[in-house]
Amino acid sequence: MSIALLAGPPPAQGMERRAEHEHRLGVLPLRQPSLIDSIERSGLRGKGGAGFPVATKWRSVASQRAGTPVVLANGGEGEPLSRKDRMLMEQRPHLVIDGAVLAADTVGADEIVLYVGADHTGAIRAMLRALSERPATERARLRLVSAPVRYVSGEETAAVHFINAGIALPTSIPPRPFERGIDGRPTLVQNVETLAHVALIARFGDEWFRSLGAGTASGSTLVTVGGAVPQTVLIEIPQGLALSEAVNAAGGITSDSDAVLLGGYFGGWVESTTAWGLPLDADSLRQLGYSLGCGVIAVLPSGRCGVVETARILAYLAHESARQCGPCTFGLRAISASAGRVAGLTATHGDLEHIQRWAGLLKGRGACRHPDGAAGLLASALRVFADEFMNHYDHRRCSITNVAAAAS
């Protein structure tokens, strides 16, 4: 098998039914005492954005003493540029459920919550249908909860808060969900793609998973490639593949491009000349100061201004702030307003200096990492589009779109 998660029937065929899934991959091997060790050897990291080592999280949950654990399969996917989780659930729901069942058996959980974005209707349909195909003993501990449509709903404490109290807003930490989560019990929150990888590692082993990677990288990963490509597509690539090869696999670029947004709204801008050669491997990227985030590769088309795009994303993130913490609520709003004026060629004195200063002040100042993500994106934009920011601010002119502010 050359590709892991998306091998099997083509997307046009819809979800893979349970009989076909088991025929193709074999029956799920339950209760594997050494699964955590195998996951550790596989090098699998979380696919929800932060890239946390999976085995470490499972051990932490399994070692908690206060209450029977719960598993939360996170398919909220609030990131506007990502498609991977909803399409995975639409096409391979049984892989996700297999992974969640294995996780529950391994950490001793008696309940599994499948948390799926309410607007991912195809995914919800497929997951419900897949649930109906599972044995009654499994169905008894599985339930699907649809997540409110907003960016922070998929943040792990927000997801737990929603399930506990119907409010999809982050809560302060500690306690983290692995200590006290759903119903006050230790809760393993794991992205749905992460769980699907576990379902294959349990079947084919850690060595097999490692062998999927390119070079020294381990495993495969799902990426959503969009922007200056023929159409936004979900592809599965060997970790470590060069970014240019992933873009070529998505059909190649449709226009020149000066920059790539890597990792989505929580990631950062990278100059194309650097981006094309980057290895798409979470560890290597981290060492180079970049992040694969939730696997988004958005190629900025020629004729689109990075300053304007950044201002648009910041406005979105400011709007999506859960408005619970001052620095996030007011800081993001102020940065977004200044960035909007710079982008719109209507900057007032000090706007750019404010943006530069505030970008450094946002990090680590909220209950969740929402402001950190915005700060990282902004810092990368100030670096990659430095000349264009100056054009917009000092000369009131956009050299990409050739628009200049009307003389006042």
Ligand X SMILES: Cc1cc2nc3c(=O)[nH]c(=O)nc-3n(C[C@H](O)[C@H](O)[C@H](O)COP(=O)(O)O)c2cc1C
Q: According to the binding rule CB under 6 A, does residue 370 interact with ligand SF4?
A: yes
Region 36-65 residues binding ligand X, contact defined as CB under 6 A: 46-50, 52
Q: Which part of the chain contacts ligand X (CB under 6 A), choosing from 32-40, 256-264, 341-349, 365-373? A: 365-373
The secondary element (H helix, E strand) that includes residue 286 is: helix 282-287
Question: Minimum distance between the CB of residue 72 and ligand X, rounded to whole angstroms?
Answer: 8
Cα 200 to chain centroid distance, Å, stands at 20
Residue that the structure tokens 């002040």 belong to: 361
Between 43 and 345, whose beta carbon lies closer to ligand X? Answer: 43
Q: Given the complex with ligand SF4, which of 180 and 323 has the nearer CB atom?
A: 323
By CB under 6 A, is residue 191 in contact with ligand X? yes
**191, containing H or E segment:** strand 187-191
Q: Establish if 267 lies at the interface with ligand X (CB under 6 A).
A: no
Out of 176, 304, 312, 323, point to the residue binding ligand SF4 (CB under 6 A): 323
- For position 76 contacting ligand X by CB under 6 A, the verdict is yes
Please report whether residue 295 would count as binding ligand X according to CB under 6 A: no
Is residue 120 a contact partner of residue 89, using CB atoms and an 8 Å limit?
yes
Q: Strand 70-75 vs strand 187-191: parallel, antiparallel, or unpaired?
A: parallel
Closest separation between CB of residue 364 and ligand SF4, Å? 10
For 123, the enclosing helix (H) or strand (E) is: helix 121-133
Span of 24-32, 103-111, 179-187, 317-325 interacting with ligand SF4 by CB under 6 A: 317-325
Our measurement of the distance from residue 373's CA atom to the centroid of its chain's CA atoms, rounded to an integer in Å, reads 12
Residue 368: CB minimum distance to ligand SF4, A? 3
Q: Is 226 in the site for ligand X (CB under 6 A)?
A: no
Q: Does 152 bind ligand X (CB under 6 A)?
A: yes
Rama region for 229: left / alpha / beta (φ>0; ψ in -120 to 50; rest) = beta
Based on the shown chain and the rule CB under 6 A, indicate whether residue 370 belongs to the binding site for ligand X. Answer: yes
Of the residues 232, 254, 284, 324, which one makes contact with ligand SF4 according to CB under 6 A: 324
Backbone angles phi and psi of 343, in degrees to 5? -65, -40
Tell me if 115 sits within 8 A of 74, measured CB to CB.
yes
Provide the minimum distance between the beta carbon of 211 and ligand X in the complex, in angstroms, as a whole number: 22
Q: Is 366 in the site for ligand SF4 (CB under 6 A)?
A: yes
Q: Does 224 sit near ligand X (CB under 6 A)? A: no
Residues 6+ apart with CB under 8 A from 91: 6, 11, 14, 15, 16, 126
Q: Which of 368, 374, 382, 398 binds ligand SF4 (CB under 6 A)?
A: 368
Q: How far apart are CA 393 and CA 168, in angstroms?
A: 38
Member of 127, 337, 367, 375 binding ligand SF4 (CB under 6 A):
367
Closest distance to ligand X from the beta carbon of 367 (Å):
10
**Residue closer to ligand X (CB basis): 25 or 71:** 71
Question: And the tokens for 301?
Answer: 């088309």
- Apex CA 58: angle with CA 137 and CA 241, to 5°? 105
- E-strand ranges in 306-357 read none
Window of 30-38, 83-91, 214-222, 318-326 that interacts with ligand SF4 by CB under 6 A: 318-326
| 161 near ligand SF4 (CB under 6 A) | no
If the CB atoms of residues 210 and 369 are measured against ligand SF4, the closer one turns out to be: 369
Q: Walk across the sheet containing 268-271 and list its strands.
A: 233-238, 220-227, 296-299, 259-262, 268-271
Residue 189 in contact with ligand X, rule: CB under 6 A: yes
- CA distances in angstroms from 281 to 26, 169, 182, 260, listed in the order given: 29, 31, 32, 16
Q: 246 to each of 132, 199, 234, 254, how far by Cα in Å?
A: 36, 24, 10, 14
CB-based contact 240:279 (threshold 8 Å): yes
78, 170, 295, 331: which one binds ligand SF4 (CB under 6 A)? 170
> What does 272 interact with, of ligand X, ligand SF4, none (CB < 5 to 8 A by kind)?
none
> Interface with ligand SF4 by CB under 6 A: which residues?
152, 170, 321-325, 328-329, 366-368, 370-371
Judged by the rule CB under 6 A, the positions of this chain that interact with ligand X are: 46-50, 52, 74, 76-78, 151-152, 154-156, 189-191, 194, 368-370
